[in-house]
Amino acid sequence: MTETSQRSRPLRVLAAMSGGVDSAVAAARAAEAGHDVTGVHLALSANPQSFRTGARGCCTIEDSRDARRAADVIGIPFYVWDLADRFREDVVDDFVAEYEAGRTPNPCLRCNEKIKFAALLDKALALGFDAVCTGHYAKVLVREDGTRELHRASDMAKDQSYVLGVLDDRQLAHALFPLGDTVTTKDEIRAEAERRGLAVAKKPDSHDICFIADGDTQGFLANRLGRAEGDIVDESGAKVGTHEGAYGFTIGQRKGLRIGTPAADGKPRYVLDISPVNNTVTVGPAASLDVGALTAIRPRWCGAAPTGPGTYTAQLRAHGGETEVRAELVDGSLEVTFTEPVRGVAPGQAIVLYDDTRVVGSATIAATVRATAGVS
């Protein structure tokens, strides 16, 4: 098996450059490996406050300039592509709708699935490129039969295979992750950027959610969905407080509940369930967060779908740890049982299944079964 980043045949590569240090170094490594690289910055947000009349600017003018500056130093052509409409439809609107439905979406994963390795990749292929290159930490290996495998990055601490778990074989065939085999700290990537004369070497890391610039997800959602006061209840259904919108909560959340009366046992309470239909948030003790099984929908496989039940390691959130599961495909949905109960599993998040370092597939968590009793 070989890594695509080390293949000798030069490819026409479109490097997605965010303006950050990782994607700049990735593009530089691809160019150094002999590929014919063109840089592209994706303009993903429309900014109504643009200075120029009638023009639609981009909220990331500075990022765009940083990316262009890096491209100029690497010595590759650079373009800005306006994918703001697609991004709004496929990522931002979806993000809001998911929260509104009481789920907790992962917009980065969605962006990889719908924008970087769909809208961008399709356009790149149509224009004659062979691959899209990003600064993700993950590895693509090629099997003897030519099909692809997605693996965790060499550096587990940096690994981003979770947010790429939605990619299928065709998408992986056109993906290049030059940082995937780097065992390094961010400082070393920064040092490499410095060595390469890239000014983004000292640029701070970006926010988790790029389209919420100030990091205030609650404020962003409140702005979109409005205030909707409702009840906070305990497991017996008794009202213990009020909230200003059920969408503002995530399963497992402890902070910010603002419940006046303490629990009978005096222990902290957590969000157990969000019910958008009656705008109710259910809270309870940590023990009630334990999940023993779950159902996940929209499974996507890296390679062939498993034919029978199997034992895998699973990752349930972007920076989460690994846990052992048994999983089986039943009527198109993934039925997952945990060997040990896990705490705080939020519908809407992805479950990514691994066989050692290899990504087997991913699916979106739809419903969880408590380790103790009852379906939530």
Partner 1 sequence: MAYLDHAATTPMLPEAVEALTAHLGVTGNASSLHAAGRQARRTVEEARETLADALGARPSEVVLTSGGTEADNLAVKGLYWSRRDADPARTRVLASPVEHHAVLDAVHWLGEHEGATVEYLPVDSYGRVHPEALREAVARNPQDVALATVMWANNEIGTILPVRELADVAAEFEVPLHADAVQAFGQVPVDFAASGLAAMTVSGHKIGGPYGIGALLLGREYTPVPVLHGGGQERHVRSGTLDVPAIASFAVAGRLAAEQREWFAREVGALRDALIEAVRTAVPDAILGGDPVDRLPANAHFTFPGCEGDSLLLLLDAQGIECSTGSACTAGVAQPSHVLLATGTAPDLARGTLRFSLGHTSTEADVEAVAKAIGPAVERARAAGLT
Beta strands 230-233; 280-284: pairing state: parallel
User: Which of 151, 142, 143 lies closest to 181, judged by CA?
Assistant: 151
Binding of partner 1 by 54 (CB under 8 A):
yes
Q: Is 374 in the site for partner 1 (CB under 8 A)?
A: no
> CB 42 → partner 1: shortest distance, Å?
10
Cα separation of 186 and 148, whole Å? 27
Angle at 355 between CA 311 and CA 363, to 5 degrees: 75
- Going by the DSSP 8-state scheme, the letter that residue 271 receives in this structure is E
Amino acid at 359: V
72 scored as a contact of partner 1 (CB under 8 A): no
Candidates 71-79, 168-176, 273-281, 355-363; binding stretch for partner 1 (CB under 8 A): 71-79
Q: How far is the CB of 11 from partner 1 (least distance, A)?
A: 14
Judged by CB under 8 A, does residue 301 bind partner 1? no
By CB under 8 A, what part of segment 10-39 binds partner 1?
38
Residue 163 lies near partner 1 (rule: CB under 8 A): no
CB of 194 to partner 1, least distance (A): 25
Contact 16, 116 (CB under 8 A): yes
- Quote the CA–CA distance of 21 and 204 in Å, as a whole number: 9
What letter would DSSP give residue 306? P
Q: Which is nearer to partner 1, 123 or 358 (CB)?
A: 123
- 86 scored as a contact of partner 1 (CB under 8 A): yes
Residues contacting 52, CB < 8 A, separation 6+:
none
Could you tell me which stretch among 27-35, 123-131, 153-161, 229-237 binds partner 1 (CB under 8 A)?
123-131
Q: Shortest approach of partner 1 to residue 57 CB, angstroms?
A: 6
Q: Which two tokens stand for residue 150?
A: 């997605």
Amino acid at 118: A
DSSP secondary structure code for residue 347 in this structure = B
Residue labelled with tokens 């769909």? 118
Query: Of 5, 23, 64, 288, which one interacts with partner 1 (CB under 8 A)?
Result: 64
Which residue number, 171 or 184, has a Cβ lying nearer to partner 1? 171
Q: For residue 228, give the nearest of 274, 279, 277, 271 by alpha carbon.
A: 279
Verify binding: residue 326, partner 1, rule CB under 8 A.
no
Which residues are designated catalytic? Answer: 111, 210
Sheet holding 239-243, edge to edge: 239-243, 230-233, 280-284, 270-275
Kind plus residue range of the DSSP H or E element containing 180: none
Do residues 6 and 180 touch, judged by C-beta distance below 8 A? no
Q: Does 45 bind partner 1 (CB under 8 A)?
A: no
3-class DSSP state of 224:
helix
73 scored as a contact of partner 1 (CB under 8 A): no
Considering the rule CB under 8 A, would residue 128 count as an interface residue with partner 1? yes
Based on the shown chain and the rule CB under 8 A, indicate whether residue 57 belongs to the binding site for partner 1. Answer: yes
Q: Would you count residue 264 as binding partner 1 (CB under 8 A)? A: no
Nearer to partner 1, 116 or 269 (CB): 116
Tokens 């000292």 sit at which residue?
A: 202
Choose which of 17, 27, 43, 138 interacts with partner 1 (CB under 8 A).
Answer: 43
Least distance between partner 1 and beta carbon 23 (Å): 16
Told to check if 48 binds partner 1 by CB under 8 A, we report no
Is residue 83 close enough to count as binding partner 1 by CB under 8 A?
yes
Q: How far apart are CA 76 and CA 274, in angstroms?
A: 49
Q: Does the protein bind partner 1 through residue 41 (CB under 8 A)?
A: yes
The only residue of 10, 32, 34, 56 in contact with partner 1, by rule CB under 8 A: 56
Residue 88 interacting with partner 1 (CB under 8 A): no
Q: Which residues bind partner 1 (CB under 8 A)?
A: 38, 41, 43, 52-58, 60-61, 64-65, 68, 77-83, 85-86, 119, 122-123, 126-128
